[in-house]
Structure 1
Amino acid sequence: MTSTTERPAPRAAKPPSWWERQGDLLMRRPFSEFTFTHMNWLMPTERVSRGEVHRPLPYESHRLDLTYRFEGHDRTLAELHRRTNTTAFVVLHHGRVIHEYYPGVFAGPRTRMQLFSISKSVTSLLLGIALEEGLVDSIHDRVVDYRKDFVGSAYEEVTLAELLTMTSGVGQLEAWDVPDSDIKRFEQAAMSGGDLAEVVKSAQRRAPSGEAFNYSTLDAQVLGWVLEAATEMSLASYASDRLWRHLGADRDAYYWLTRAHPRTAIGAGSLNATPRDVARLGLLMANDGVVAGRQVVPRDWIRRSRGSELPQLAVGELGPSGYSHYGYANQWWTLGGSAFDAFTALGVHGQYLYIDPSADVVIVKCSAWPTQDDEGRDRETIAALRRIADHFACAR
């Protein structure tokens, strides 16, 4: 029997269960080579239909024997793929597939790849379409104009423009290696059955709205929810009807959904599609939103995505949540200051949709990095992709 002056020894913290740790396990090499190509085996999904019209991409094989320079060394593309864990690599020039390579164990031309935050850039395209249709009135509307349940949260007065530029001021610096960080709680809720909306609503304001860039999966998720509320359609349904069926895609894409009901797509990171179909998105961006003569995404929205006039979004000015070689605009990463400079969509673990309008080059690189972020691998990848685009620009 314990005396009044004694206290029971504290229980050791219970180690997290497999269910609670599944996000970490699914993202770890070598398992990630499988999970990044089979998310539809692991999570509930909703289809993004390709439609009836298929437009095969012209194929014109081209040897890429070039080298790129990184950290004082000339390296080959074979070294790039080995050093940065490439699983799929597709290069388009003038709309033709001139090079593709699938070193991933489970990858191939018809394999649908987990795109992570490339999904954010697609959500931005869908918002541009919804604005053109009048389903969303203005980017200066507030979140609560569409989602009344966010009244009382830190997002109450945030505008869609601030979500698009990730200047909401809400949420922490994304830290995947901190167990109770906003992004880890978000991941756990999405994959293990928690209340994702409550996780997002619980995020705290860290800075005034509109002032500073802070890369935020939460901001992008709220943007996707606003889009669903405005269109009265699921993200997958709206993407199918307004975007995917116009691309001439090879395959249906899909979003994986949260385990908990009501199930919801992760507009910030759950789109899966084939590398060639991702390249088709790049062609749409390079061609000012036009596919086969049809204006699918408004031209002005595409141009808005290639660069921002906000000084805090300029290349080198993003602060601690963006590498110094990037700027940001409209849920896309910029690499220069004009509409004709290269820009890219990015996803953790090394996913790229790289577009150089001047060279008329689109490059898709899927990867299975051992960690979510890796500045060294990123810098090396961008150096190589720039070199490929420069090669074709000079050859014209």
Structure 2
Amino acid sequence: MGRTTRRAGGALAVGAAVAGLGAGASWLWRHQADIAFSRPVNEWAFTHMSTVLPTEPVSRAATPRLLPSEPGLRDFTYEHAGERRTLADLHIRTHTTGFAVLHRGVLVREEYPGRFASRAARFQLFSLTKSVTSMLIGIALEEGALGSTADKVVSYVPGLAGSAYDGVTVEDLLHMSSGVEFVEDYADPESSFARFERAVSGGGSLLDVVRSLPRTAEPGGTFNYSTVDSQVLGWVLEGATGLPLSRYAHSRLWSHIGAERDAYYFLTRGRPRTALGGGSFNASVRDMARVGLLMARGGELDGQRIVPPSWVERSRGVDAPHLAVGALGTDFPGHYGYANQWWTLAGERRAFTGIGIHGQYLWVDPDADLVVVKTSAWNTAEDEDRDAETVAALSALVRHVEARG
């Protein structure tokens, strides 16, 4: 999420989307990310990943969990930049494609302003995938497939022995504190991020890219936002459970939250094909609202414990100065901290949010029993102004809902 990804960056998510269209292949290949990630094409790309890359399904629940609906929030407004604005203003200004609000388990708002968006659409969630991966890690720990967050990465991913990840723990990965250098700068075609993307979309070896990264800090003490840390975390999960991410996500999460739609991970083009634990999950807005409800309810739904309550609690923030709100460095907005593959928020409420580039949010406020899902199609991977307006609007929405009781 760092500001270094300000270009159309994040090509790892739709690396070969336009290349699959055929005509003018050479020019399209050189400019595929710019095209696929720019408006209005990105609205199509972000809802059609399954048509352009290999995928693995995460099958829906046998019996979907009903979401009761009581439409509301018609009188809601928020203030930003000295102006009073409505949700319609927010959607226009921040290119919302899908939007849902759950309060006390009731769907009080649902709309799909995007051209290709609908209740049935599966949205590319980018780095919201990281938060889902974290939930799966918590489940694996509780059931004993994963021993401890203190376990060394190479215990589960022996192919990383001798690399900069040798000596890094699962805990380090969860907090983006591996000490391994990875710069998410797509503007530089020689950056580690660009090499990672080329391996995803062009058939190269992700393992080779990861093994080539140097260590720049001791593990555990320095925050560096890194999709590779999350990728390794996904490999740890697969190594610990013996299952691909898609099957584990179905059996331990998707089937238990009552998901109404199949989700999916897109896969690398090269074999062995692999899902991206840091950025290839696609799901419907309603099902992501169910994920948020699970986290808002302390890891339980309908009396069933799915994610350990302690895991939810640590996702709201941990006692580590380098992860505190405002302490992540100048590349990140001051209203965020980080913990457990989630972004933490200022204030005593300890709300938290998953975030994906181009404006994807899963906002969770357990104290208010409120969840907001917002998918978007920003023209750039990062946008300080649109992020600030979104945070202002969703913070005001929590206050509004609580005031109404």
TM-score by length of 2: 0.91
Is the 1:20–1:188 Cα contact (8 Å) retained in structure 2? Answer: no
Q: Tell me the distance in 2 between the aligned counterparts of 1:36 and 1:310.
A: 35
Q: Secondary structure at the match of 1:169?
A: coil
- Residue of structure 1 equivalent to 2:124: 114
Q: Distance in 2 between matches of 1:347 and 1:370?
A: 13
CA distance in 2, matches of 1:231, 1:72: 51
Whether 1:284 aligns to 2:286 is no
Cα distance, 1:191 vs structure 2 = 1.6
Tell me what 1:363 maps to: 372
Partner of 2:404: 395
Cα distance change, pair 270–114 in 1 and its aligned pair in 2 (3 A): same
Letter in 1 for 2:245: L
Q: Residue 21 of structure 1: CA displacement?
A: 4.3
SS in 1 for 2:358: coil
Equivalences for residues 127-142 of structure 1 within 5 A: 127-142=137-152
> Is 1:35 aligned to residue 6 of structure 2?
no
**Secondary structure of the corresponding residue to residue 82 of structure 1:** helix
CA deviation vs aligned residue, 1:274-320 (integer Å, no higher than 9, x gap): 00000000000000111121100111111111111101111100113
| Structure 2: distance between partners of 1:53 and 1:321 | 44
Instruction: Determine if contact 1:165/1:328 at 8 Å carries over to the other structure.
Output: yes
RMSD: 1.5
User: Matched residue of 1:341: which SS?
Assistant: coil
Q: Which residue of 1 aligns with 2:5?
A: none
Give the aligned partner of residue 225 of structure 2: 215
- Per-residue CA shift, 1:118-149, capped at 9, x if unaligned? 00000000000110111111101111111111
Match of 1:98 among 108, 117, 124: 108
> After superposition, where does 1:326-345 map in structure 2 within 5 Å?
326-336=336-346, 340-345=349-354
1:216-269 residue CA offsets vs partner (Å, 9 max, x unmatched): 101000000010011000000000001100011110110000000000001100
Which of 141, 156, 176 is the matching residue for 2:166? 156
CA deviation digits over 1:320-362, x for unaligned, max 9? Answer: 3432100111000010365x42110000000000011122111
Say if 2:379 is the partner of 1:379.
no
Report the alpha carbon displacement of residue 178 of structure 1 after superposing the two structures with TM: 2.0
2:253 aligned partner, one-letter code: L
> Superposed, which structure 2 residues align to 1:47-126 within 5 Å?
47-126=57-136
How much has 1:189 moved relative to structure 2? 1.5
Contact 1:307–1:337 (Cα < 8 Å) also in 2 = no
In 1, Cα distance between the equivalents of 2:97 and 2:270?
31
2:368 aligns to what SS in structure 1?
Answer: coil
Q: 1:384 to 1:246 in 2, by over 3 A?
A: same
Which digits, 9 at most, give the CA deviation of each residue in 1:89-120, with x for residues without a partner? 11111111111111100001111000000000
- Displacement after TM superposition at 1:153 (Å): 1.0
Structure 1, unaligned runs of 5 or more:
1-14
Q: Alignment partner for residue 259 of structure 2, among 249, 261, 265?
A: 249
Deviation, 1:46, is 0.3
**Unaligned stretches of 5+ in structure 2?**
1-24
Alpha carbons 2:182, 2:228 under 8 Å: kept:
no
For 2:32, the equivalent position in structure 1 comes to 22
Query: Which residue of the partner structure matches residue 156 of structure 2?
Result: 146
Q: Deviations over 1:19-64 (max 9, x none)?
A: 3543443222211110100000010000101131211200111143
Q: Normalising to structure 1: TM-score of the pair? A: 0.93
- The percentage of aligned residue pairs carrying the same residue is 54
One-letter amino acid matched to 2:94:
T
- For 1:346, the equivalent position in structure 2 comes to 355
Distance 1:165 1:320, change over 3 A: same
